[in-house]
Structures are given as structure tokens and as C-alpha cells.
Amino acid sequence: MNSINRQVRLAARPSGLPKASDWEVTSEPVPAAGPGQFVVAISHLSVDPAMRGWMNAGASYIPPVEVGAVMRAGAIGQVTASEHPGFAIGDYVYGTFGVQEYAASDGKGVIKLDTSLAEPTTYLGALGMTGLTAYFALFDVGRIQEGDTVVISGAAGAVGSVAGQIAKLKGCRVIGIAGGQDKCRMLVDEFGFDAAIDYKSEDVRTALREHAPGRVDVYFDNVGGDVLDAVLTRLARGARIIICGAVSQYNAEQVTGPANYLSLLVARASMTGMVVFDYQDRYPGAMAELAQWLRDGQLVSREHIVHGSISDFPDVLLMLFAGHNTGKLILALDPG
């Protein structure tokens, strides 16, 4: 085990896309396990669009990362030292350990992983916050029913690709919106979507008239902006819009809201924000159902794994906003 723990800290609040000067790579001794604690050697970091929002000052659903603090991140790793009765050396665990190589924990909010069920990285994808977000958004907020037409933006991303598969296995017609022909082809061929719209080369509103002639019952929004505005013009009576993310807005100097919001009135529709942390007491049941779908081959977990060191994190984060990832983006920390 190394004696040095390298960390990525927030050095300044970004304006627009995060740049190199917004980060600082620091080193300190590897933490020791105090009474009731354990130490984790982190092997994989979850890289998520929500991180950009956590870097901003101001009120949100979760406190901002403070300037000078280790960047917040979900991560998986193995326990290397333990003074905690519930965690043994060698256990694989998931927790919000931050962008660093080692973390000490008292076990609060930490999930022990069953690696006989799936590869550890699957717990950052379909069996982790990604899959849980898709699950609760569709069932609790979207209230999907068999026969619904479900449209998903950011559909080739981590949450979108899982959400589309869940909606499909529940008997919905599923249309994905993504950037580029390769991603759209994958949505249909690999993830089983009924149709895909390439927002880079197609007019979204026109394509929706073709693929959803009976209008949209559930819209799962991960991008906001112009795509949200286009879908608002195609709502069915009683449509449910899930606001899960708005990746098109995270780096904008001025956030723009939907101009077509009166469509909600016309369609008697609802638009509801969704944060997965609200469902913590129900994670075990949802994970069991997701795991069963994986076992049965009804669900594919797609991870986009980038190998590197802790200092590569700032560049890997930028991949999200350039649309370079397919499925769940993960930074694997290679030894050395």
C-alpha cells in the first residue's frame, strides 16, 4: 500500500467549462483507520454531469463543494484497513469517497458490494446511482404504464441508456434523443429503443411528429434547453416530464428556461424534479430488481471506462460536456 494519498481539490469556482486552474492536485498521508472506521483504496471514480452543479456556490439539493475541499464523487474500492465491525479487509464498497486515492469512512452511506453478482464497476452503472436514478424517476415521477410513449434525452448517457431499457421492458414505446449517428444506432441495436433522434442532424420537433404521432406520455429530460422546448410541443394529455438533469445548461453563463412551458397547461401535464437521494430507504429493493433484470439479460450495463491517474480527473470530466462518453463514464485509477 502506498503511503501517499493524492487528491483533486476544487481551487476556484468555474465560470463556464471547468479549466485547469479550477483544480489543484494535492498529496497527504494515507489516512489511518480510527475506532469505528475503515480505509478504502479507491479503484474507480464515478464521473457525472451533476458534478458541474456541485462546483457552483448557492442553494441546491446538496451543499456545494467548498473551495479547497476534495472534489465530491461516488467511488468504489477495497477496504485495506478496518476498525469497523461491519467491514473487513478485502470488502468491495461504494461510497461518496471523493476524488482521491484513499478515503477513511465510518460506514455511513456506504454500500457493501456483492461482486459475485456483478463486476464492481456495474455498481457505478446499472446497479448504482445511475440505475437507481432511472428506476425511481420512471416509476415514481414518470409513473410509466404499459403502452406509454416515453422519450429520453441524453439517451446514450449513463442514466438515459438504463432508463430506456427499463421503460422498454415495462412495455413502453421508447424514443431516444442523442448526438451522432453512432450513438443513435447503438440505442436501437444494443439497448432496444424503438427509435432514435440525432439532435445534431435532425430537427427534433419534426422527428417527434414522425416517431411519436400519438404524442409523448413521459419525457425523461437529461439535457434541458432547446430539446426540452421541442418536446414540450408534443405532449399527450396528462403527460409527465421528469427533470433529472440539464447538461446543456450546466456550463452556461445564463441558464435559459423553456419558452413553451404553457404546453403544460394545454396538456394538463406535470414537470417534476427528481433527485435520487430522496429514495435512499428504498435502494435495496430497487437494486434487487435491477440485479434480476441484469441476470435475466433484460438489462445491459454499459460502462465507458477511462484508465488513468487521479490527475486525469479534470480532463475526464470534460468528456461529459463534449458528448464523448457512451453509457456510464468511469475513471479507473491504475496502480502506480
pTM score, whole prediction: 0.90
Predicted local confidence at residue 336, as pLDDT: 62
Contact 96, 71 (CB under 8 A): no
Asked whether residue 41 carries a pLDDT value surpassing 90, the answer given is: yes
The C-alpha atoms of residue 259 and residue 251 are separated, in whole angstroms, by: 20
What percentage of the chain exceeds 90 in pLDDT? 86
What percentage of the chain exceeds 70 in pLDDT? 99
DSSP state of 107: S
**How many other C-beta atoms are found inside a 10 Å radius of the C-beta of residue 285?**
11
Q: What is the mean pLDDT of residues 179-186?
A: 96
pLDDT in tens, 43-76: 999 999 999 999 998 878 889 999 999 999 999 9
Lowest mean pLDDT among 6-10, 14-18, 310-314, 323-327: 323-327
Domain boundaries, the chain: 4-125+302-333, 129-277
CATH superfamily of the domain spanning 129-277? NAD(P)-binding Rossmann-like Domain (3.40.50.720)
CA dihedral 33, 37, 41, 47 (to 10 degrees): -140
pLDDT in tens, 235-276: 999 999 999 998 888 787 777 889 999 999 999 999 999 999
Q: Exposed (0-12), middle (13-18) or buried (19+): which is 165, by Cβ within 10 Å?
A: buried
- Classify 4-125+302-333 by CATH class: alpha beta
Lowest mean pLDDT among 169-183, 230-244, 317-331: 317-331
Contact 280, 136 (CB under 8 A): no
Contacts of range 17-24, beta carbons closer than 8 Å, 24 or more positions apart:
17/251, 17/318, 17/321, 18/52, 18/55, 18/314, 18/317, 18/318, 20/314, 22/55, 22/314, 23/71, 23/313, 23/314
Predicted local confidence at residue 282, as pLDDT: 95
